[in-house]
Structure 1
Amino acid sequence: MADDTVVIVGAGPVGLLLAGDLRTHGVPTVVVERLTEPMTESRASTLHTRTMELLERRGVLARLGELPGGGPGHFGGMPLDLTAADPGHPYAGQWKCPQTRLEAVLQERATELGAVVRRGLRLVALRDTGGRMTVEAVGADGRRESLTCSHVIGCDGGDSTVRRLGGFDFAGTDARREMLRADVEGLHIPDRRFERHSRGLATAHRWPDGSTRVMVHIFGTAPRRRTGPPAFDEITAAWAEVTGEDIGHGRPTWLNAFDDTRRQATRYRKGRVLLAGDAAHVQMPVGGQALNLGLQDAAELGVRLAAHLADPHDRGALDTYDQLRRTAGARTLTDIQAQSFLLLGGAEVDPLRELVGELLRLAPVRHRLARSISGLAAPADATTSTDPDTRTTERTHTMSRLTDKTALVTGSSRGIGRAIARRLADEGALVAVHYSTGEDAARHTVELIERDGGRAFTVRAELGVPGDVHELFLGVEQGLKERTGETALDILVNNAGITTPAGVQPEDVTAEDLDRLFAVNAQAPFLIVQRALGLLRENGRIINISSGLTRFASPDQAAYAMTKAAVEQISLHFARHLAPRGITVNSVAPGITNNGSALFDIPEAVEQMAQFSAFKRVGEAVDVADVVTFLASPDARWVTGAFIDASGGTLLG
Structure 2
Amino acid sequence: MPKTVDDDGGSAKIDVMVVGAGPVGLLLAGDLAAEGARVTVVEQLTEPTTESRASTLHTRTMDLLSDRGILGRLGRLPNGGAGHFGGIPLDLTAADPDHPFRGQWKCPQTRLESVLQQRAIESGARIYRGHRLTSVTDSGACVELKTVSVDGGRQHTWTATYLAGCDGERSSVRDLGGFEYARVPATQTMLRADIAGIDVRPRRFERLPNGLAVASKWPDGSTRIMVHALDAPARLSDDAPTFDEVVAAWELVTGESIGQGTPLWLNSFDNASCQVTRYCRGRIVLAGDAAHQQMPVGGQALNLGLQDAAALSGALRDCIANPSTGEGLSGYHSDRHAAGVRTLANIRAQTVLLLGGPEVDPLRAIVTELLQFQAVQSHLAGSISGRAQTKTRVVESSTIATAPNTPKESPDMSSLTGKTALVTGSSRGIGRAIARQLAAKGALVVVHYAGNVEAATETVELIEIDGGRAFSVASDLSTPGGVHELFLGLEHGLKERTGRTTLDIVVNNAGATTPEGVAPEDVTPEEFDRLFAINAKAPFFIVQRAIGLLPENGRIVNISSGLTRFANPGQVAYSMTKGAVEQITLHFARHLAPRGITVNSVAPGITNNGSAVFDIPEAVEQMSQLSAFKRVGEAIDVADVVTFLATDEARWITGAFIDATGGTLLG
TM-score class, shorter-chain normalisation, is: 0.5 to 0.7
Distance in 1 (CA, whole Å) between partners of 2:220 and 2:66 is 26
Distance 1:130 1:354, change over 3 A: closer
The question of 1:112 aligning with 2:122 is answered yes
Provide runs of 4+ in structure 1 moved above 4 Å: 1-4, 403-406
How large is the Cα RMSD of the aligned pairs?
1.4
Structure 2 partner of 1:65: 75
Is the CA contact 1:20–1:115 (under 8 Å) kept in the aligned structure 2?
yes
Partner-residue secondary structure (3-state), 2:352: helix
Task: Identify the match of residue 157 of structure 1 among 161, 168, 180.
Answer: 168
User: Over residues 310-333 of structure 1, what are the superposed CA-to-partner deviations in whole Å (9 max), with x where a residue is unaligned?
Assistant: 011222211110100000000000
Is the CA contact 2:82–2:103 (under 8 Å) kept in the aligned structure 1?
yes
Distance in 2 (CA, whole Å) between partners of 1:258 and 1:170 is 19
Task: Identify the match of residue 321 of structure 1 among 332, 338, 341.
Answer: 332
The question of 1:312 aligning with 2:323 is answered yes
Q: How far does residue 3 in structure 1 lie from its aligned partner after superposition?
A: 5.2
Partner-residue secondary structure (3-state), 1:331: helix
The question of 1:370 aligning with 2:393 is answered no
Task: Identify the match of residue 298 of structure 2 among 287, 294, 298.
Answer: 287
Is the CA contact 1:4–1:309 (under 8 Å) kept in the aligned structure 2?
no
Partner-residue secondary structure (3-state), 1:370: helix
Partner-residue secondary structure (3-state), 1:150: strand
- Return 5+ residue gaps in structure 1 as ranges: 378-398, 407-653
Partner-residue secondary structure (3-state), 1:52: helix
User: Over residues 257-279 of structure 1, what are the superposed CA-to-partner deviations in whole Å (9 max), with x where a residue is unaligned?
Assistant: 01111010000000000000000
Q: How far does residue 229 in structure 1 lie from its aligned partner after superposition?
A: 0.7
Task: Identify the match of residue 15 of structure 1 among 15, 18, 25.
Answer: 25
Distance in 1 (CA, whole Å) between partners of 2:169 and 2:238 is 14
Identity %: 58
Task: Identify the match of residue 112 of structure 2 among 83, 96, 102.
Answer: 102
Partner-residue secondary structure (3-state), 1:267: coil
Is the CA contact 1:286–1:340 (under 8 Å) kept in the aligned structure 2?
yes
Q: Please list, as runs of the form range in 1=range in 2, the aligned pairs for 1:84-233 lying within 5 A after superposition.
A: 84-140=94-150, 141-233=152-244
Distance 1:139 1:19, change over 3 A: same
Task: Identify the match of residue 49 of structure 1 among 59, 70, 76.
Answer: 59
Bigger radius of gyration, 1 or 2?
2
Distance in 2 (CA, whole Å) between partners of 1:364 and 1:209 is 40
Distance in 2 (CA, whole Å) between partners of 1:268 and 1:3 is 25
Partner-residue secondary structure (3-state), 1:286: coil
Partner-residue secondary structure (3-state), 2:77: coil
Structure 2 partner of 1:24: 34
Distance in 2 (CA, whole Å) between partners of 1:341 and 1:282 is 17
Distance in 2 (CA, whole Å) between partners of 1:125 and 1:404 is 47
Q: How far does residue 219 in structure 1 lie from its aligned partner after superposition?
A: 1.1
Partner-residue secondary structure (3-state), 2:81: coil
Q: How far does residue 57 in structure 1 lie from its aligned partner after superposition?
A: 1.1
The question of 1:40 aligning with 2:67 is answered no
Q: Please list, as runs of the form range in 1=range in 2, the aligned pairs for 1:603-614 lying within 5 A after superposition.
A: none
The amino acid of 1:58's aligned partner reads R
Structure 1 partner of 2:528: none
Is the CA contact 2:276–2:292 (under 8 Å) kept in the aligned structure 1?
yes
Distance in 2 (CA, whole Å) between partners of 1:245 and 1:405 is 47
Structure 2 partner of 1:247: 258
Distance in 1 (CA, whole Å) between partners of 2:266 and 2:76 is 28
Distance in 1 (CA, whole Å) between partners of 2:231 and 2:34 is 49
Q: How far does residue 222 in structure 1 lie from its aligned partner after superposition?
A: 2.0
User: Over residues 359-380 of structure 1, what are the superposed CA-to-partner deviations in whole Å (9 max), with x where a residue is unaligned?
Assistant: 1111110100001100114xxx
Is the CA contact 1:220–1:345 (under 8 Å) kept in the aligned structure 2?
no
Distance in 1 (CA, whole Å) between partners of 2:127 and 2:13 is 18
User: Over residues 241-267 of structure 1, what are the superposed CA-to-partner deviations in whole Å (9 max), with x where a residue is unaligned?
Assistant: 111111111111111101111010000
Structure 1 partner of 2:314: 303
Q: How far does residue 172 in structure 1 lie from its aligned partner after superposition?
A: 2.2
Distance in 2 (CA, whole Å) between partners of 1:22 and 1:129 is 23
Q: How far does residue 58 in structure 1 lie from its aligned partner after superposition?
A: 1.0
Is the CA contact 2:189–2:270 (under 8 Å) kept in the aligned structure 1?
yes
Is the CA contact 2:164–2:287 (under 8 Å) kept in the aligned structure 1?
yes
User: Over residues 589-630 of structure 1, what are the superposed CA-to-partner deviations in whole Å (9 max), with x where a residue is unaligned?
Assistant: xxxxxxxxxxxxxxxxxxxxxxxxxxxxxxxxxxxxxxxxxx
- Return 5+ residue gaps in structure 2 as ranges: 1-10, 394-667
Is the CA contact 1:42–1:254 (under 8 Å) kept in the aligned structure 2?
no
Structure 1 partner of 2:15: 5
Distance in 2 (CA, whole Å) between partners of 1:241 and 1:333 is 30
Give TM-score scaled by structure 2 length.
Answer: 0.56
Q: Please list, as runs of the form range in 1=range in 2, the aligned pairs for 1:520-599 lying within 5 A after superposition.
A: none
Distance in 2 (CA, whole Å) between partners of 1:355 and 1:256 is 33
Distance in 2 (CA, whole Å) between partners of 1:228 and 1:67 is 33
Q: How far does residue 186 in structure 1 lie from its aligned partner after superposition?
A: 1.6
User: Over residues 98-154 of structure 1, what are the superposed CA-to-partner deviations in whole Å (9 max), with x where a residue is unaligned?
Assistant: 111110100000000000000011000011234011110001211110001101110
Give TM-score scaled by structure 1 length.
Answer: 0.57
Partner-residue secondary structure (3-state), 1:305: helix
